[in-house]
Structure 1
Amino acid sequence: MKLVKYILGLAGAALLLSSCSKLEDINKNPNESEQVQPDYLLTNGIKQNVDTYWGNDAAMETSLLYVQYWAKIQYTDPDRYIPAATSIQTVWNNFYAQGVADFTKLIELGDTLQNPNYKAVGIIMRSWIFQVLTDFYGDIPYTEAARIERYLTPAYDKQKDVYLGLLTELKGAASIITPAANPISGDILYNGDMNKWKKFANSLRLRIALRISDKEFAAAKAVFDEIGTDDASLIVSNSDNAQLVYQASPNQNPVARNRETRNDYRISKSVVDKLNSLNDPRLTIYAAMPRDTNKIIGVTNGLATDSASRLGFNKTSDVGAVFTATTAPAVLFNAAELLFIKAEAAQVGLISGNAATLYTQAVTTSLKQYNVSDANVATYLSQASVAYNAANYKQSIGDQKWLALFGDGLEGFAEWRRLDYPKLPAAFTGNLSGKIPLRLTYPSSEQALNGTNYKAAVANQGADALTTRLWFDKE
């Protein structure tokens, strides 16, 4: 009798397993791939992370205001240095969940598919994201990030170690690129041109090397010694700019998407005043003419909401169409920045070369990015107010680099902190006792879910406050 029951039990179990197997088969989508496709992953990864970089939380409500490219004309709390908790959280979540995780997967797929170009692109994009994160927050999860199966609560790496790690990763990525073989698909940044990806990787290396040069000069010089004068492997032409060119809705520029339903932003008075003082031909490119006036008018940063709204929506200048149009490109790295990097590097002894000549090339390249005529470029450069001043190179480079990075809030914010130029006034009714933010605070989720490592990072870096100076930002 026991044997009969045992046999019946086995039969029942077999029937149950067979039913489960059939149920799984029924629930499978025959049209859905069980393997992640690298081209789809790459397209989505680039789009989602560039959207974050140029979007509401990382740019419009924070960095663009802090570095005074934009100002707010209504709902002005963010312009008064009172960021929304959702903005802080969204930047962190998007870059880690949609960026670091996706590109880590692409790196793994590159190995699985034996295609080093997918792997290289994954490393380059992930390194760019980590660079943005550490520029914004300081110490961040780096070596243990995107490995949730091993590190549910990842430790924070010191900012110095993040930068040095990224220099190593980017060098490795550039070295495995094979332009003549292993084609990739889904590349909406460079259309599969691996020579341009190599230029992007090497240009990022110089960006990071210069950023750490005040603290780690020898490490920075080693990078410049290797690639600093190799223009063939760097972004020195606007045709090589790392930028995502947007398309029609629903793939429009996030700034354009914002303008479809909101009217919160204007160009900052700080930018307008600087452009006017230099007779800069970029004024009518960077700023739009108000509907009710024939004069470009910027808005003071950090006005109280009632004061800002009284200025009039149709009497103040929005940002120019070159940034707000549906198909306006989102720039991650432009040639002018690279030439400014080289100018400063020549000035401080990181490379040989004439700093003034490189500075002139950088300013020219920025103007030509917006199709300023040769005659107007020559007139602009002939002004004493624009001429390179080696005795105060940080002001010359700082002012012009700030203008050249207009619209690229995160990079402009980082370089303004490092160079301390231009000299910007604090928000008119700012919430920081006359100070300007120097970083973004960590999201509250880190305190709740990764508390031990969060506390260790704060103990190392300093108070989790907007005014805490980051490691790279030498006083």
Structure 2
Amino acid sequence: MKKGYIKSALGALAICMVTTTGCKNFLDINDNPNAPENAQVSLILPSAQAGISFVLGGTFQIYGNIWSQYWTQNFGASQYRSIDQYQPGAADYDWPWNNLYSNSLEDLEMILKEGRSDKNKQYAAIALLMKAYNYQMLTDAFGDVPLKEATKGDDNLNPKYDTQKEVYDSIFKYIDEAQAMIDPASAYLPGADDLIFGGDMEQWDRFANTLKLRAYLRLLDVDKAKAEAGIKAVVAKHNFLERDAEVKYSGTGDNQNPVYSEIVQLQFTSNLLASATCVDTMNALQDPRVSVFYQPLAATGKVTPIVQGGFALITSGSYSTPSFVVGARYSNNKSAMAPVKFISAAESYFLQAEASARGYGGGSASGLYGQGISASFSSYDIAEGSYVADRVAAFPAAAEGRIRDIITQKYFAMCGNQGFEAWTEYRRTGYPSFLIKSKASIYNDDSKPQRFLYPSSEVTNNGNFPGSKLLTDKVWWDTK
């Protein structure tokens, strides 16, 4: 594992990528704010948040959106063919792994070392929540990962791996520690240096509860007693996100959405097309979001997709791309301003709806289900028409049917904007039930990707690396 506190250049780059006012408000060229002796939490926090956002909204977003079958490889290009073929290489994961560990987590640890005083306590609370979020990303993607011996710099270049159960236990611990520190009335609140909520600690408390609910629901099939107790406790607080937790981009300079930033680096090549898996189902439901998440063709005014993995089957024709609102329209520079959503308001309502549908309290499952759909429409200023009312009216009476509809509508809401989470929820629940095997798959059976591969940097450099996994090996909580 790459270790060490490599901050002055990378930290500055991450901050520049996401702050609308550029670097000058955060960095003084006569100072090195990342050196341990001069560490300033107000400068390190945006670097950490930017680093996580760039991985979540970049590599994780692209893999998640392709494996969730929102997007598929364009037949006229080649950048993501290996993803659509279910044939990525271990080296493909070096950058996100190293960025989350050697940059983002190192930043967060620096804040926690500096931030236990009253002056820095709210920064420390945010850092703990970001640490919990970061580790959930890592463990949901890779399975067992280093935690107890990670982020110790040159003191340990061969950290041992912790089981996914142990990582989840730590996630809950970090959230609890953070909530015990949160004080919205503190005299020392972050401001614009908190890229997600601008120092609004009430929102961070809601974020904590929503993240905790997400995590407990993830464990229902592997540790039911713990999950049920945790869900009931957090639902009883009834304090969840009602707005998107996101990093916004201005589109100026290097401050661009991560997917669009990659499009720019690829010389504005149109690598991504709309997948028929998602589009055809949305069209069948007359879902108006389809023409917002995707670019309709000028000639017809309709969204026209190709079959998932169909790049080898098609040689010509006009097909729709993802739109600028999800950062993936190659020819529209508004893509640069698409936000990266850590947890959306829609996801928050769907999590609550699922908890209610499973009998854990927290309000009306049908009402929360409808609020989840409405929040998705509202996030993109889309008129609902009768869509939400029709879905609520058709909400099943049976529990399993309710879970199916909740996760399926969550899937539509996450189209293009929370691809990794949608793919993760598919692995957990088996919904939506209409995903197909990519036409480009290398597998002879119906196998689909179940995890990321461990990066080649771990295989070659970590003496305690426990051994490689196959793409089809399930992570601990995946029982479907």
Task: Tell me the TM-score normalized by structure 1.
Answer: 0.85
Q: 1:199 aligns with which of 186, 206, 209?
A: 206
Question: Which amino acid in 1 is paired with 2:95?
Answer: T
CA contact (8 A) 2:276 2:305 kept: yes
Sort the Cα spacing of 1:374 and 1:387 in 2 relative to 1 into closer, same or farther, 3 A: farther
The alpha carbon displacement at 1:350 in A equals 2.8
- Following TM superposition, by how much is the alpha carbon of 1:245 offset from its aligned partner in structure 2, in angstroms? 1.0
1:48 deviation in Å? 2.1
Residue 394 of structure 1: aligned partner: 403
Structure-1 residue corresponding to 2:442: 431
Contact persistence 1:41–1:106 (CA under 8 A): yes
Q: Which residue in the other structure is 1:279 paired with? A: 286
In structure 2, which of residues 164, 185, 190 is the aligned counterpart of residue 180 of structure 1?
185
Structure 2 vs 1, CA of residues 311 and 128 (structure 1 numbering), >3 Å: closer, same or farther? farther
Q: How many Å apart are 1:293 and its aligned residue?
A: 4.1
| Residues 18-43 of structure 1, C-alpha deviations (whole Å, 9 max, x = no match) | xxxxxxxxxxx855555022112111
Partner of 1:59: 61
Q: Is residue 234 of structure 1 aligned with residue 237 of structure 2?
A: no
Q: How much does 1:311 deviate?
A: 3.6
1:38/1:303 Cα in 2 relative to 1: closer, same or farther (>3 Å)? Answer: same
Higher helix share: 1
Task: State the shift of 1:317 in Å.
Answer: 0.8
- Partners of 2:201 and 2:465 lie apart in 1 by 38
Q: Determine which of 411, 414, 420 is the counterpart of 1:410.
A: 420
What is the alpha-carbon distance in structure 2 between the residues aligned to residue 149 and residue 258 of structure 1? 31
Report the CA distance shift for 1:399/1:40 in structure 2 as closer, same or farther (over 3 A).
same
**Alpha-carbon distance in 2 for matches of 1:429, 1:51:** 28
1:436/1:32 CA distance change after superposition, 3 Å: closer
Matches within 5 A, 1:260-299: 260=264, 261-299=268-306
Question: Where does 1:157-172 land on structure 2 (aligned, <5 Å)?
Answer: 157-172=162-177
Question: Structure 1 residue 117: deviation in Å?
Answer: 0.5
Identity score, percent: 29
Query: 1:358 and 1:112, CA in 2 relative to 1: closer, same or farther beyond 3 A?
Result: closer
Contact kept in structure 2, 1:280 and 1:380, CA below 8 Å? no
* Aligned AA (1:427): S
Aligned to 1:7: none
> In 2, Cα distance between the equivalents of 1:263 and 1:425?
23
Partner of 2:17: none
After TM superposition, the structure 1 = structure 2 runs for residues 349-364 of structure 1, keeping only pairs within 5 Å, are: 349-351=359-361, 353-364=363-374
- What is the aligned-residue RMSD (CA, Å)? 2.1
Q: Where do residues 51-450 of structure 1 align in structure 2 (5 Å cutoff)?
A: 51-55=54-58, 57-60=59-62, 62-73=63-74, 74-75=77-78, 76-111=81-116, 114-181=119-186, 182-185=188-191, 186-231=193-238, 233-235=239-241, 237-238=242-243, 241-249=244-252, 250-260=254-264, 261-305=268-312, 307-308=313-314, 310-312=315-317, 315-324=318-327, 325-351=335-361, 353-378=363-388, 380-381=390-391, 384=394, 390-407=399-416, 408-423=418-433, 424-433=435-444, 434-450=446-462
Partner of 2:41: 38
Mark the CA change 1:269 to 1:183 in structure 2 (over 3 Å): closer, same or farther.
Answer: same
Q: 2:360 is matched by which residue type in structure 1?
A: L
Matched-pair contact (CA < 8 Å) for 2:57–2:259: yes
**C-alpha contact 2:396 2:402 (8 A) present in aligned 1:** no
Taking the aligned partners of 2:32 and 2:431, their CA distance within structure 1 comes to: 53
Offset of residue 206 of structure 1? 0.6
Aligned to 1:25: none
TM-score between the two structures when normalised by the length of structure 2: 0.84
> Following TM superposition, by how much is the alpha carbon of 1:112 offset from its aligned partner in structure 2, in angstroms?
5.8
Moved more, 350-359 or 279-288: 350-359
Residue 258 of structure 2 aligns to which amino acid in structure 1? P
> Which ranges of structure 1 fall in alignment gaps of 5 or more residues?
1-28, 459-463
Q: Aligned letter for 1:415?
A: E
| Gap regions ≥5 residues in structure 2 | 1-28, 328-334
Quote the Cα distance in structure 2 between the aligned partners of 1:352 and 1:127.
24
Q: Helix, strand or coil: the match of 2:465?
A: helix
Matching residue's letter, 1:396: D
Code of the residue aligned with 2:406 in structure 1: it is I
After superposition, the C-alpha distances for 1:188-218 in whole angstroms (9 at most, x for unaligned) are: 1111111111111111111001001111122
One-letter amino acid of the counterpart of residue 266, structure 1: L
Give the 3 Å change call, closer, same or farther, for CA 292–352 of structure 1 in structure 2: closer
CA-to-partner distance for each residue in 1:19-74, whole Å, 9 max, x for gaps? xxxxxxxxxx855555022112111211122011111x2222x2211111111102
Cα gap change, 1:446 to 1:86, in 2 (>3 Å): closer
* Matching of residue 454 in structure 1 with residue 473 in structure 2: no
- Partner Cα separation in structure 1 for residue 261 and residue 100 of structure 2: 20
Query: What SS class does the counterpart of residue 440 from structure 2 fall into?
Result: coil
State how far apart, in whole Å, the 1-side matches of 2:293 and 2:475 are: 30
For residue 67 of structure 1, what is the amino acid of its counterpart? S
**Distance between the aligned counterparts of 1:133 and 1:259, measured in 2?**
25
Q: CA deviation at 1:352?
A: 5.1
Counterpart secondary structure, 1:251? coil
SS in 2 for 1:157: coil
Distance 1:311 1:392 in 2: 40
The 1:31/1:344 distance shift into structure 2, 3 A limit, reads: closer
Indicate the residue corresponding to 1:48 in structure 2: 51
For 2:47, the aligned partner's letter is N
Aligned to 1:12: none
TM-aligned CA distance change 1:162 to 1:171, over 3 Å: same
8 Å contact kept, 1:389–1:396: no
